[in-house]
Structure 1
Amino acid sequence: MLALILLFSSAFNPVKTGLKEGEQAPELSLQNAEDSVSLQSLKGRYVLLNFWAGYDAPSRMENIRFAREIDKSGLENIALVSVSFDTNRKVFEETIKRDGLNAATQFYDKDGSRSDIFGNYRLNKGFASYLISPEGVIIAKDPNPEHLTKLIRQ
């Protein structure tokens, strides 16, 4: 009987994966070696919020591509906030060095998949990235790095 109840309740309450376009981005606050950042402090600018980990090759490659694309775009009105969920700070720091990333855009969440950010962004089915409008609304999920400039100029 309990199994039937669980089966039917899961059919009516599917697990939500990630956030969707049009949703307000949940607030977050992070600190790196150089600075602290929050979505509230970045209001008025586009934000590319990217989640990754050194152990996840696809998310790591996207992180590199996003950083390079934003650097070469020359756009002043976009901020990259890239959050690593590595549980070992040394792995995070080494990955940033090895990948040639600007440490000012990279942030470390020591709680990994147990963090509030991980839960608030519903990343239980894998990493994602979000382009957030100057008003704090998600306007693209997993945008293509090469199309960022186009999305922002629309």
Structure 2
Amino acid sequence: MKYVKWIFVVLLISSLTSFVEKDKPTGGLNVGDIAPDFKIETMSTEQSTQNLSRMKGKYVLLSFWASYDAQSRMQNASLSNALRSTSPNNNVEMVSVSFDEYQSIFEETIRKDQIVTPTCFVETKGESSGIFKKYRLGRGFTNYLLDDNGVIIAKNISAAELSAYLN
């Protein structure tokens, strides 16, 4: 009986200490980090390449998502709509990157979600792609707002927060 009490105390203490790190970001990059450069190409008939480094001097909203991840997909669509509904000279360029492994699924998703396609790319290597690894997205998709020097100034920004930022 004496050992049962000690085991209970040890379990209680270990469960309490597991909550200590909960406020730390779960994964990916953080505010203040410089966003890693990447190059991504479209696979459609209109061959297009996007280099993050070419966008220096502009604010950039990077949105990482996949059609199979409902939360990231909804967030991507709402951010795209928020940017579209603000003034055209809002000085923020959105780069939307999907990690769907099939081009057809990606194309159907952006059609249904009404995403502007010139700034929307698909990385068909999915979670094994270099971008996925560079941005450490293993614990979930996210979005980043970068300043004109490529420094992350906001993470997991909502459409409402973006609209407030633009105004």
Please state how far the C-alpha of 1:151 moved relative to its aligned partner: 2.8
CA RMSD of aligned residues (A): 1.8
Q: Give the gaps of 5 or more residues in structure 1.
A: 1-15
Paired position in structure 2 for 1:4: none
Paired position in structure 2 for 1:126: 140
Q: Distance in 2 between matches of 1:75 and 1:151?
A: 15
SS of the counterpart of 1:107? strand
CA distance 1:75–1:147, shift in 2 (3 Å): farther
* 1:54 is the counterpart of 2:64: no
For 1:130, give the aligned amino acid.
Y
Structure of higher CA gyration radius: 2
SS of the counterpart of 1:97? helix
Q: Give the gaps of 5 or more residues in structure 2.
A: 1-25
Q: Is the 8 A contact 1:46 1:152 kept in 2?
A: no
For 1:28, give the aligned amino acid.
F
Q: Distance in 1 between matches of 2:164 and 2:49?
A: 28
Moved over 4 A (4+): none
Q: Distance in 2 between matches of 1:146 and 1:38?
A: 27
Paired position in structure 2 for 1:135: 149
Q: Within 5 Å, give how 1:64-143 maps onto structure 2.
A: 64-76=77-89, 77-143=91-157
Aligned length: 140
Please state how far the C-alpha of 1:150 moved relative to its aligned partner: 3.1
Q: TM-score, normalised by structure 1?
A: 0.85
Please state how far the C-alpha of 1:149 moved relative to its aligned partner: 3.7
Query: What are the Cα deviations for residues 112-142 of structure 1, in whole angstroms up to 9, with x where unaligned?
Result: 0001100110000000100000100000010
Q: Distance in 2 between matches of 1:37 and 1:74?
A: 23
For 1:96, give the aligned amino acid.
I
Please state how far the C-alpha of 1:37 moved relative to its aligned partner: 1.3
Q: TM-score, normalised by structure 2?
A: 0.78
Q: Distance in 2 between matches of 1:37 and 1:138?
A: 18
Query: What are the Cα deviations for residues 54-106 of structure 1, in whole angstroms up to 9, with x where unaligned?
Result: 11111110111010000111152111100000011110011111111111121
Indicate the percent of aligned positions where both proteins have the same amino acid: 41
